[in-house]
Amino acid sequence: MEKRKQFIFIVLLLLSITLKAQQVDSMLTVYKNDFQQEKVYLHFDKSIYKNGEIIWFKAYILAGKSLSIYSKNFYADWYDEKGNLLKHTIHPIFESSAKGQFDVPTNYIGQTIHVKAYTRWMLNFDTAFLFNKYIVINNNKTTAKPSQVKNFSSIHFFPEGGDLINGLSANVAFLATDQNGKPVTVRGGIFNVANQLIDSFTSIHNGMGSFALDPTANETYTCNWADENGNNYTTKLPTAKNMGIALTGQIVKNKVVFSTTRTADASENFKTLHVVATQNQQEIYNAAVNLTSKKTVLGQIPIENLPTGILQLSVFDNNWLPIAERILFVNNHLHQFFPDLVTVKQDEKKRSKNSFELTVNDTVFSNLSISVTDANLFSDTTTNIFSQLLLSGDLKGNIYNPSYYFSNASDSVANHLDLVMLTHGWRRYKWEDILNKKTPSLIYARDSDYLQIKGKVFTGGSAGIKPNQMMTLILQSKDSSKQYFVLPVKQNGNFEQKRLIFFDTVRAFYQLNNDKRLNEIASVNFQNALPQVRFSKTVTLPQQIELDSFAFARNNALNILIEQLKKDTKVPMLKEVIVTTKIKNAKEILDDKYTSGLFKDNNGYAFNVIDD
């Protein structure tokens, strides 16, 4: 009888574990299908601008590893150096990309403009993942020098897996930065409570490095270290736990090799573990680990067919509570292809035509953008589309010069990238929410449409609107292209046209059909009905980039030379000539430029989508 009870208990336990694993897989599928988070990258036509120039850009929007289906409108907020909003712009999204521009004010005196880019869907999640970038403005104007801040450095320690555990060997990574968040070179030693040297270390790349530590009970550890400026510091290491699990992981060829190790006195909850690997909110691996009779178990996860990106390795105890985590970067080079650029015609004479042909050998659809810039100008190469969408867009905190980690396939670059994985946390979702079947609370639903034109016809009460009243509407863009619509007008005067797409400013011309008297007495109010988001007119900006002073000075000298050449080559001014003519009023000019036929001298309405 007793054996039967034990058997039933074991069966129920195994059934509970299986159901919990299925629940995790099911909730990850829900997150992947319904709450996939978007990432944004902006490709600018160049890295530095002058007053009065136009900043051209193309935006790329991904959801996980795929094109986004969540958004139809893209938003960009442009701020000055003090965090004051210069402009809020909205752009339609086609095939997961959008294009737009921003005019640098001619009287702008700052050295940078900050752009924050996002979709409405992105505002439902952690705003730390919105796209932020400083754009350099070279305006030959002096601004107040920033107040001098005393140099200081700080260091943070990150045990692999999350915690130091007494009695278990640990790999401890560190990251040292200065007061501006820029990495600094450091060296130091680890000392125990008796001030005995345990190990020494030095940073090996961008303020990062690692060392081994075997924490023991009743010990505390202190780091004495010095930065590149000769300043000395003392920092305590994280306190070790007496009981727990140590997790290690590394990529060996086409596999992730991981180990889970428990302490000798581990509780029953730590003797049966669950290891889950996810990428882009999709479960890649799920296995149970039995540590009842062993202290350490090794495992392997094949990754040769995985896309480029971050793999999250999570360990849960027997009750499915998260206890350890390790992120690794999978790079099978499946994220890139190499188009061929052929020079068709090259002519270096002034205003001569140059032709180039770009060929993509792959049969997969490509969405590209190309910028042609002066090679002598300052160029920001610290970020690119790979580093933003595959690395920075998934990690919190500042990553210094992220494009370096995609510069080549050498072992040294891969090792440096693993230090980034050890010192930065991946927090796209919380395991507690998934295990409790909790989904994100949405402020903004998926975009159902682009912009709409809505309006109302007012008759002043002297005449009603007849049933089946129709309106002819013409939208004319700056380039004189036109869109024609015939809209029904409700008896309360309301009308609308959905699924509209236009850029910048359009003029609207209308006529109420088959009712001459109504045209004479009616007035029409238009609204563009753009999907709205909450944006701030003043913000606290993130840490500003450190400008390349040499490149900035070189670009400044080049701009001065260009301006001087313009002055030297100006055509001599003729003597003043006075011409007398009849001046048309604004209405006549508008009619001549934009209307003809039945719309001549009729009502028109102009509005600007960019500034709304």
Q: What are phi and psi of 484, to 5 degrees?
A: -115, 140
Q: Kind and range of the H or E element at 553?
A: helix 549-568
* Separation of alpha carbons 92 and 100, rounded Å: 9
| Mode of pairing for the β-strands spanning 469-477 and 451-458 | unpaired
Three-class secondary structure of residue 441 per DSSP: coil
CB 610 within 8 A of CB 86: no
pLDDT for position 536: 78
CATH code linked to domain 451-530+583-608: 2.60.40
* Separation of alpha carbons 510 and 455, rounded Å: 11
* Separation of alpha carbons 215 and 195, rounded Å: 15
- The length of the chain is 612
CA triplet 327, 330, 335: central angle to 5 degrees?
135
User: Over the range 379-416, which residues count as b (16 or more CB within 10 Å of their CB) and which as e?
Assistant: ebeebebbbbbbbbbbbeeebbebbbbbeeeeeebeeb
Give burial (CB, 10 Å; 0-12/13-18/19+) of 102.
buried
pLDDT for position 266: 92
pLDDT for position 501: 77
Domain boundaries, the chain: 38-137, 153-332, 451-530+583-608
CATH code linked to domain 153-332: 2.60.40.10
Encoding tokens for residue 146? Answer: 């920033």
Q: Kind and range of the H or E element at 300?
A: strand 296-302
CB 280 within 8 A of CB 311: no
pLDDT for position 291: 95
pTM (2 decimals)?
0.80
Q: In the chain, which stretches have pLDDT less than 50? A: 9-15, 571, 573-574, 576-577, 579-583, 585-587, 589-590, 593-594, 596-599, 601-602, 606-607, 609-610
Mind giving me the DSSP string for 340-402?
A: EEEEEE---STT---EEEEE--SSS----------TTS----S--HHHHHHTGGGS-S--SSG
Question: Which amino acid type is present at position 517?
Answer: R
pLDDT for position 309: 94
Question: Which amino acid type is present at position 476?
Answer: Q
- The fold of 38-137 is Immunoglobulin-like (2.60.40)
> What DSSP character marks residue 587?
H
* Separation of alpha carbons 425 and 270, rounded Å: 23
* Separation of alpha carbons 48 and 378, rounded Å: 6
Residue partners of 417: CB distance under 8 A and separation at least 6 = 329, 331, 405
Model confidence pLDDT, tens digit, residues 24-71: 778 888 888 888 999 999 999 999 999 999 999 999 999 988 899 899
Residue 247: name the closest of 301, 311, 310, 315 by CA: 315
Three-class secondary structure of residue 490 per DSSP: coil
Model confidence pLDDT, tens digit, residues 491-535: 899 998 887 777 767 888 999 998 888 888 888 888 877 767 777
Biggest alpha carbon–alpha carbon distance for the chain: 117
